[in-house]
Amino acid sequence: MIENKKSFKALNQNSNDADIKDLIYKINKNKIIEFNKNLFKDEYLCICSGGTTSSCAKNNQITVDLRKNYKQISYDKNTGVATIGGGVLMGDLLNYLEKFNRMFPIGLSKLPGIGYILTGGISPLSKRYGLAIDNLLNVKGFFGNGDFFSLDIDNLNKKEIPIWEGIKGAAPFFSIITEVAIQTFENFPIQVFDGFVEEEELKELIAISETFPKNFSFQFIFSDNIYVYIVGELKTEEEKDLAQKYISIFQRFPSLKNKIYRNLNQINFFPKELNIFELNANLHSEVISLLGKSLKGYESEFVEELIEINAAKPNKACYVAIQQLGDQSMFENKYSSYFIHREACWKPWIFASWEKNNNHDKKLVINWMNEAWNKLRRFFPYIHLAQLHNHLNSHQDELKLAFGSKLDELKDLKRIYDPSNILPPL
């Protein structure tokens, strides 16, 4: 037991308040073998790469915090490949790459670590560049059994292919990733239309967005007010001309501001006036992410459901938001992955938050989250397992809806490479 476990600071307040059993900053084979011998039943390692998830620390569990000793970033100008440690935040990655006029398609927040990449990675630019896992080139780390591995997409043998595919979308269940190599991309200007809209305007904007080309995407947050982001990368002269078309279209929505940013790193999504509560020290929260196909013809029904969900929320710190994907994100690259719902066009997420230490409030909020999920299932029947919920009753349902027929294969990988179950359970 080390004495500085209270020095652990997570961005997710649930994890930050956890009474952890121990805190580990460096991982190696001997340490993992020791865990295999000494962990009690129902004990497992929590992995912290960015600290934004409620599962990076738990009461009476050991946390491996990669943020201290695995923060290395390097970039190869000849190949456009960046190599980053398991504790690198996505915002730090963009800041580093900007020096080379490069970027990586991160999500709406700059706070996550490589967990963002390993669980799929949905970005406002995913329609053009695919999911984050589609740009993985090399991974290094340790299996739950203690064995070190280094896998390269161009040099996989027959035995390594299922491991590679499992790491792309399900890595936390059987491995600890300490380093990844990723393909980066040249920076281009980003056109953004954003602002508050009314419910009827939202219905129209969803319909318009489903005709967007691959360089445009739509995201919004539905809380007491509705805030939308339309993001377009301007890579070619043709796309710049196309942006002028959308400027004229969006003039019908007087509240939408129009601005061109130098690159993705210059955008701070969801301004402070939204007050969306993620970093409030007095609140705990859970997030469940869904996946579904086109909403064409169902835009009005979907928004009406959101109105009902919003009216029923137990407090102002709960909301529903959504990101658009599609086009390139629908295609696997050289190998398949455990992000199996490639037909998905939308990823909504339900943010459920309550006053910490208030069990009555927590019960109301979790019930609201589940009821909201049930209302949205007919539009979005699948799960994006961006957060692990093995502490919630919905865990088994989420696993089935996230991995489908691959769940049995994942259980096989865990049985082989994490036989003592020292990593999050299935």
- What burial class does residue 409 get, using C-beta atoms within 10 Å of its C-beta: 0-12 exposed, 13-18 middle, 19+ buried? middle
Torsion of CA 351, 354, 355, 357, to 10 degrees: -120
Tokens of 335: 């190998």
Beta-bridge partner residues of 352: 286
pLDDT of 312: 97
Residue indicated by tokens 């020290």 = 281
pLDDT of 281: 82
Q: Is the pLDDT at 2 greater than 60, yes or no?
A: no
HSE (CB half, 13 Å, CA atoms) of 222? 27
Q: What is the pLDDT of residues 305-350, one digit of tens each?
A: 999 999 999 999 999 999 999 999 999 988 999 999 999 999 999 9
Q: What is the pLDDT of residues 82-125, one digit of tens each?
A: 999 999 999 999 999 999 999 999 999 999 999 999 999 999 99
The CATH architecture that domain 190-405 belongs to is 3-Layer(aba) Sandwich (3.40)
Q: Is the pLDDT at 4 greater than 90, yes or no?
A: no
How far apart, in whole angstroms, are the C-alpha atoms of residue 204 and residue 250?
11
How far apart, in whole angstroms, are the C-alpha atoms of residue 329 and residue 347?
12
Instruction: For the chain, give the mean pLDDT.
Output: 94
- 405-418: average pLDDT: 97
Residue indicated by tokens 């805030």 = 227
Q: Is the pLDDT at 290 greater than 80, yes or no?
A: yes
Question: Over the Cα atoms of the chain, what is R_g?
Answer: 21
What lies within 8 Å, CB to CB, of 99 at 6+ separation is none
What are the φ/ψ torsions at residue 148 (nearest 5 degrees)?
Answer: -80, 145
Q: Is the pLDDT at 6 greater than 70, yes or no?
A: no
Q: What is the pLDDT of residues 291-304, one digit of tens each?
A: 999 999 999 999 99
pLDDT of 374: 98
- 3-state SS, the chain, equals CCCCHHHCCCCCHHHHCCCCCEEECCCCHHHHHHHHHHCCCCCCEEEECCCCCCCCCCCCCEEEECCCCCCCEEEECCCCEEEEECCCCHHHHHHHHHCCCEECCCCCCCCCCCHHHHCCCCCCCHHHHCCHHHHEEEEEEEECCCCEEEEECCCCCCCHHHHHHHHHHHHHHCEEEEEEEEECEECCCEEEEEEEECHHHHHHHHHHHCCCCCCEEEEEEECCCEEEEEEEECCCHHHHHHHHHHHHHHCCCCCCEEEEECCHHHCCCCCHHHCCCCCCCCEEEEEEEEEECCCCCCHHHHHHHHHHHHHHCCCCCCEEEEEECCHHHHCCCCCCCCCCCCCCCEEEEEEEEEECCCHHHHHHHHHHHHHHHHHHCCCCCEEECCCCCCCCCCHHHHHHHHHHHHHHHHHHHHHHHCCCCCCCCC
pLDDT of 1: 44
- 359-379: average pLDDT: 97
- What burial class does residue 63 get, using C-beta atoms within 10 Å of its C-beta: 0-12 exposed, 13-18 middle, 19+ buried? buried
* More reliable by pLDDT, 277 or 319: 319
pLDDT of 363: 96
Closest by alpha carbon to 270, among 233, 210, 322? 322
pLDDT of 277: 63
- 379-404: average pLDDT: 95
Q: What is the pLDDT of residues 177-232, one digit of tens each?
A: 999 999 999 999 999 999 999 999 999 999 999 999 999 999 999 999 999 999 99
Provide the percentage of residues in the chain whose pLDDT is more than 90: 90
Q: Is the pLDDT at 275 greater than 80, yes or no?
A: no
Closest by alpha carbon to 54, among 354, 396, 338? 354
pLDDT of 3: 46
Sequence letter at residue 260: I
Q: Is the pLDDT at 274 greater than 90, yes or no?
A: no
Domain 73-186 coded CATH 3.40.50.720: no
pLDDT of 280: 80
pLDDT of 41: 87
Provide the percentage of residues in the chain whose pLDDT is more than 70: 97
What lies within 8 Å, CB to CB, of 47 at 6+ separation is 56, 63, 64, 66, 115, 172, 176, 423
Q: What is the pLDDT of residues 9-25, one digit of tens each?
A: 998 999 999 999 999 99
